[in-house]
Structure 1
Amino acid sequence: MSYQDILYSVDHRIATITLNRPDKLNAWTAVMEREVREAMDAAAADDGVRAIVLTGAGRGFCAGADMDLLKGLDPSDITATTWTKPFDVNQRLDYQTRYGFYPAIPKPVIGMLNGATAGIGLVHALYCDIRFAADNAVFTTAFSRRGLIAEHGLSWMLPRIVGHANAMDLLLSARKVLAPEAQAMGLVNKVFAPEALSAATYAYARDLVDNVSPRSMAVIKRQQYDAPFQTLAENTRQANAEMARSFESEDFREGVAHFMEKRAAQFTGR
């Protein structure tokens, strides 16, 4: 499939989705929205993909919405439902929203944040499961400085990642946060020199696809994103049921076998 505003490739069972408007710091467009969703769906459905990396071309990850397009925005575009997919009874409704679909992807999504990450760009970064950043990356919610509000579930996701106090600070002030501070508050997992970011990110992704059960990753990811809606008892009952199913899986048998035989794992995801 050909794309206009993104690039898509698969190598070593890792799908890479690259926001590709480098002259605009990958400012978000309606075309980019549709293409990112299509690429995420393609990666999720591809048995040859076990992890996904989302990044930006050039000096930035995503500097937010394209302001030239935002000036002519029809308010009805925000609440329109024409972009939604048919309801999936196998997925939690909470994760079938316009941008909040990442938790429903049964594969780890790693955000490789190579530069400016602002507004809607930060929304997408936060919906990634893991975030690695260049040490010169800058982050901002941006919304309050544009007369806007915390959009697309940001007021739900952000405090769960950085805590209530930090979320209030970032949302109210919309101040710029440098990568070291972002790491200290848990906004990103790790920070690397710009020239080392790609190698470190893909080394991590290759470790996942080579040495970790894709079945385990899918179940663990679902457990993590179900947990905010569960009591401790509900979470424990779910874990007990999933553990019983794990004992019956091929990946469990392979997990024991490769450890005992001291060889590389050959997980199938079944």
Structure 2
Amino acid sequence: MGYQHILYAVDHHIATITLNRPARLNAWTATMEREVRQAMEQAADDDGVRAIVLTGAGRGFCAGADMDELKDLDPNDIKSDAWSRPFDMNRRADYQTRYGFYPALPKPVIGMLNGATAGIGLVHALYCDIRFAADTAVFTTSFSRRGLIAEHGLSWMLPLIVGHANALDLLLSARKVQACEALSMGLVNQVFPADKLLEQTSAYVRDLVDNVSPRSMRVIKRQQYDAPFQTLAENTLAANAEMSQSVLSADFREGVAHFLEKRPARFTGH
């Protein structure tokens, strides 16, 4: 499948999706929106892919919406069913919104944030499961400084990640946050020197695909994103049911065997 505004590559069971408008700091477009979603679904459906990395080309991750498109935005388009209609009723409806579908993907999505991450770019970064940032990366919600509001579930997702007080600070002020502060508030998981970001992210993701059960990752991710909608009792009962299934799986048998035999794991995801 050919893409115009992104790059898509698979290597070592890792699908890398690269926002590819470096001259515009990968400003978000309608074309990019369609292509990122297609690429995410392509990776999710590919049995040869076990993890997904989302990053940007050049100096930025995504500096927000392309202003040439934003200035012509039709308010009626925002309210249309096309923005919010679930595309797979077998998945939790909460994670079927226009941009909030990452949690419904059955594979981990790692955001490799190589530079400016603003507005809709920050939205996509937050929907990634794990975020690694370059020490030169800068973050901002942007919206209040454009006369906009917390879009696309941001007022739900951001407090879940950084807490209520930090979320209000970032949303109300739309101030710029350096990578070190982003790390301290939990906005990103780790910060690396810019020239080591690719190396360190690749090492982490390769460890996932080489040494972790794809089945375990799939179930654990679903458990994590179901939890905000469950009571403790509901969560525990669901976990008990999943545990009974996991001990019947081929990956469980392999997990025990490779440990006892002191050899690398050969997980299949089944």
- Give the TM interval when normalised to the shorter protein: over 0.9
Residues 83 and 97, structure 2, Cα contact 8 Å, conserved in 1: no
State the shift of 1:85 in Å: 6.3
Secondary structure at 1:268 match in 2: coil
The answer for the alignment partner of 1:76 in structure 2 is 76
The code of the aligned residue for 1:188 comes to V
State the shift of 1:259 in Å: 0.1
Matches within 5 A, 1:106-117: 106-117=106-117
Matches within 5 A, 1:200-215: 200-215=200-215
- Cα distance in 2 for residues equivalent to 1:87 and 1:148: 27
State the shift of 1:198 in Å: 0.3
The answer for the alignment partner of 2:15 in structure 1 is 15
Secondary structure at 1:242 match in 2: helix
The code of the aligned residue for 1:240 comes to N
State the shift of 1:70 in Å: 0.8
Q: Cα deviation per residue 1:178-233 (whole Å; 9 max; x = unaligned)?
A: 00000000000000000000000010000000000000000000000000000000
Matches within 5 A, 1:20-169: 20-82=20-82, 87-169=87-169
The answer for the alignment partner of 2:233 in structure 1 is 233
- Cα distance in 2 for residues equivalent to 1:106 and 1:74: 33
Secondary structure at 1:82 match in 2: helix
Residues 65 and 120, structure 2, Cα contact 8 Å, conserved in 1: yes
Name the Cα RMSD after superposition: 0.9
- Cα distance in 1 for residues equivalent to 2:84 and 2:124: 17
Distance change in 2, residues 1:86/1:185 (3 Å): closer
Q: Cα deviation per residue 1:68-112 (whole Å; 9 max; x = unaligned)?
A: 111111112222223666642321100011000000000000000
The code of the aligned residue for 2:208 comes to L
- Cα distance in 1 for residues equivalent to 2:20 and 2:197: 18
Residues 140 and 175, structure 2, Cα contact 8 Å, conserved in 1: yes
The answer for the alignment partner of 1:250 in structure 2 is 250
Q: TM-score, normalised by structure 2?
A: 0.98
The code of the aligned residue for 1:11 comes to D
- Cα distance in 1 for residues equivalent to 2:80 and 2:5: 22
Secondary structure at 1:72 match in 2: coil
- Cα distance in 1 for residues equivalent to 2:194 and 2:28: 22
Secondary structure at 1:243 match in 2: helix
Distance change in 2, residues 1:83/1:162 (3 Å): closer
State the shift of 1:17 in Å: 0.2
- Cα distance in 1 for residues equivalent to 2:30 and 2:84: 13
- Cα distance in 2 for residues equivalent to 1:96 and 1:65: 21
User: How high is the sequence identity, in percent, across the aligned residues?
Assistant: 80
Gaps of at least 5 residues in structure 2 are none
How many residue pairs get matched?
Answer: 270
The answer for the alignment partner of 2:178 in structure 1 is 178
Q: TM-score, normalised by structure 1?
A: 0.98
Residues 86 and 93, structure 2, Cα contact 8 Å, conserved in 1: no
Secondary structure at 2:202 match in 1: helix
- Cα distance in 2 for residues equivalent to 1:75 and 1:147: 14
The answer for the alignment partner of 1:3 in structure 2 is 3
Residues 135 and 192, structure 2, Cα contact 8 Å, conserved in 1: yes
The code of the aligned residue for 1:216 comes to S
Residues 6 and 17, structure 2, Cα contact 8 Å, conserved in 1: yes
Secondary structure at 2:82 match in 1: coil
The code of the aligned residue for 1:144 comes to S
